Chains A and B, each alone.
Chain A
Amino acid sequence: MPRARALERPRGVALSFQGVTHRYGPRIALDQLDLQVFQGEVLALLGPNGAGKSTTISVLLGLVRPQQGRVQVLGSDPRRAVADGRVGAMLQSGSGIGLPPGVRVEQALGLVRRLYPRPAQFDQIVERADIGGLLRQRTDRLSGGQAQRVRFAIAIAGDPEVVFLDEPTSAMDVESRQGFWRMMRDFGDEGRTVLFATHHLAEADEIADRVIVLNHGTVVADGPGATLKAAVATRRLRFVTDHPDRATLSELDGVTEVDVCGTGVSIDSLDADATIRDLVGRGVPFRDLEVTGAGLEQAFVALTGCGNGRANAGAGLLAKGPSLGATVRDVP
């Protein structure tokens, strides 16, 4: 498996933040941020809006100079790394698609390639970003997902060692999103460093080697997605019962949340085993029981204390697992 091969190698530090603080007026975007990312890592920066994800990327690109602290990209100043053509990025597009209107895709890509000292092969970029069918199209006639693929092609046109992607799949449908994840993952498997910001939890979970949860400009949690989920040991139980009684279900051992819909019941529990024993003990007639990991979403809610309507569950988890932020730092 290519991912494992990349991990075996001794690796240098690709990106480092030391005590980085940045404010926009009174609002603090980065608060004493410390972070090290190793070469070849595929890292997800996860967090709610305003957590500091975009600022982190802007700082890494030298677009924003932080007021305090030290940032290095590939061992040098971020602007140096950009000027040397060692960095590529796909930023959030503003009002438009982030591509020059009135030109064909191949022309825009051709231009960006020429701006780099050691660009990737044209055909290779086209294949990686899967834009073979779009080359002759005009940039202003692309769909949202197509435009994002072209922007990815532009991000990797300079054959960069490090790529930053700021919420790259935010405007995509499910299918394009899956395809895009594969592209990012493949690119990371080549030994390059990929850092992407997202608030799609599944995205972080499925493609990143390592997930950093950012909130209020600091690292709240740091580890492989699976470890993060384990840290928040929530399981979801689903079953069917003829006359669900919400009050009884809420009293079950370990339960943090109960959802009843007709005869279907969904329970979030911190201790699935205890909940099931209790369920049996109370003689609740259930069938079609299914237990699943609650997913990164729950972990995320728990760690940042955000999320709509689920904030209670999050608060509960935080109370029971006091050292969540510190639990999961096992990155090489």
Chain B
Amino acid sequence: MTELSAAAPALADDPFVEDHAGSVPRIGWRSRLVPLMAFGRFEVGRLLRSWKFLAITVGFPVIFYLLFLRDRPAGEVVGGTVTWRVYLMVAMCSFGALVAALNAGGTRLSMERASGWARQLRITPIPAWSYVGTKVVASMLVVLPVIVLVEGVGAAFGDVRLGAATWVGLTVLVWATALPFALLGVFVGFLVATEAAFPVVTGLMFVLGYFGGLFTPVNRMPGSLQLLAQFMPSYHHDALALAALDGRTLAPSHWLVLAGYVAVLATAIMWKHRVEEARGLA
């Protein structure tokens, strides 16, 4: 700051320089948090005001629930003690979380990066990682109401009856374990060009939905597909919640696979972010 502090006294009468010249006060963590909160609110608000986002995110799981509910007797036991009406509600919670997270990240992020908005934010005082970080947090935040809504539909139209504690526990579990989906959405937005982002997001939605056993219980699928399901984060997401409802212990394999997805996707995002930053593109 040598040149500046030397020049500071002479600039004292300048209304635009006197505030900032010389030593700039360090910014505390509390005032660092305020801009991030504003950014988070902005992102969530934007998603919830977009009718396109709402139509896809709310429409798919709710309509699928109402459609598929008639496929079997609602009281049919489809695994352990879990009935069709409950299985389908949990599966559509998973699917809703998946759709919300992929659409919150995916196409939007890709577009923002192509248009230069991401770069514009990069040259504001918020830290370099906060763009990605806020996107993940915003995705998680919009996932929650979708889960609650599908549960409401399950209770209202599927006649699902659970205890209050079970409802809360189920919601928290399904929500918290949706983190791999949020990361996946951000990763797609980071990696895929704008024109390709929408098809990729749509493709992922249905591949992860179908092969993850969200439309048909995995134990009713052919053997080869049952094996494939083991690789789908959506299967493990769904299976954890079903196991919890069934009163079984939560198998560590589900946690491990989900944690593996989180680790791989987070690493991939950080790697991509670092590469772009080194090239001045982030």
Where the two chains meet, the residues of A that have a C-beta atom closer than 8 Å to any C-beta of B are 9-13, 16, 39, 58, 61, 63-65, 72, 74-76, 82-89, 91-103, 107, 111-112, 114-118, 151, 154, 158-159, 161, 190-192
Contact = CB atoms under 8 A, between A and B. Distances in A.
Interface residues of B, number: 50
Contacts of B122: 63
B125 A84 contact: yes
Given A10-B10, A161-B20, A95 B115 contact: yes
B16 A191 contact: yes
24 contacts: A9-B10, A39-B17, A58-B280, A64-B280, A65-B278, A72-B3, A82-B125, A84-B20, A85-B125, A87-B123, A91-B116, A93-B116, A94-B115, A95-B114, A96-B114, A97-B115, A98-B117, A101-B108, A112-B120, A114-B38, A161-B17, A161-B21, A191-B16, A191-B17
B123 A89 contact: yes
A39 B7 contact: yes
Nearest to A78: B123
B274 to A, nearest CB: 13
**Most A-side CB within 10 Å, residue of B16, B45, B49:** B16
**5 A-B pairs with least C-beta separation:** A96-B115, A12-B7, A75-B4, A64-B280, A98-B116
Nearest to B279: A64
B38 A75 contact: no
A290 B31 CA distance: 63
A83 B34 CA distance: 15
Nearest to A12: B7
A89 B123 CA distance: 7
**Most B-side CB within 10 Å, residue of A92, A102, A118, A154:** A102
B121 A115 contact: yes
B124 interface: yes
Contacts of A114: 34-35, 38-39
Nearest to A113: B38
Interface string B200-219: 00000000000000000000
Contacts of A99: 115, 117
Nearest to B31: A117
Nearest to A59: B280
